[in-house]
Amino acid sequence: MLLLDIGNTNLRWAVHDGAQLGAVQIARHGNAIPLDVLAAWETLPAPTRIVASNVGGAAVAEALGRVTQAYWGLAPEFVSTRAEYAGVRIAYAEPSRFGVDRWLALLAAHVDNPTAAPTLIVDAGTAATFDLLLADGRHLGGLIVPGLEMMRTSLLAGTQIPRIEIEPCGMLWANDTTAAVAAGSVQAIAALAERLAERLAAETGATVRILLTGGDAPRLRAAFSQPFIEIEDLVLRGLTV
């Protein structure tokens, strides 16, 4: 299978051979299929199925369909959120309002939970999402805040602060305005994650497993004081469930 995770900004893809997931490839999609992705796909063995998660919009979905039909005569299968599946029960009353990428991350987290721990999933992308999952598969709900770039851009749009060209690299606070904005965005997401993990631990009486994923996950690593597991391909793993 060719598996695709189409986000708001990036397209991730990998090949699943029936036993394991191959290396993850990432490209910015710009509402189309980038040329470097097309070139890479020309060298692939023909897949038997193409399964995709899409929160990036109709334009990129249509572009994907044209490409896969031209290359392999296959239409992509776009998955959609279900209220209950593979032991996971989502908190939303209307499943269609719960992002399919968040749902797939829940599935992947639930099926691979060797310590049966309550889990907080932090997906740091264009938006940063936080989802809380009990060991029995019950989803408690979650939060959404602007991602790093969106948080910074919205602040810069309403001020005279110059554009940020640095990364804080674990900085707790700063002695420069530009650095303060950069560090503030990172610390805000990490602090919210750790607050949610603490509340979940208090409510369950168990040690919480924090899973970190998304394109901006590497930029958040140094800001966490609690242990976490970084899983680059969490949504793609959900497509295999």
Check whether 174 has a pLDDT greater than 90. no
> Was 204 annotated as part of a binding site?
no
Tokens 């369909």 belong to 65
Q: What angle do CA 71, 77, 82 make, to 5 degrees?
A: 165
Structure token digits, residue 66: 């044209």
> Was 8 annotated as part of a binding site?
yes
Assign residue 142 the CATH number of its domain: 3.30.420.40
| Cα 163 to Cα 22, 178, 202, 233, distances in angstroms | 37, 7, 40, 31
In a domain, 85, yes or no: no
Residue 176: pLDDT band (50, 70, 90) is: confident
Residue 162: pLDDT band (50, 70, 90) is: confident
Q: Are 63 and 119 in the same domain?
A: no
> Was 137 annotated as part of a binding site?
no
In a domain, 65, yes or no: yes
Residue 8: pLDDT band (50, 70, 90) is: very high
What total number of domains does the chain contain? 2
Check whether 5 has a pLDDT greater than 80. yes
Catalytic residues: 101
Structure pTM? 0.94
Q: What share of the chain in percent tops pLDDT 90?
A: 88
Check whether 189 has a pLDDT greater than 90. yes
* Cα torsion through 69, 75, 76, 82, rounded to 10: 170
Residue 217: its pLDDT value, please?
96
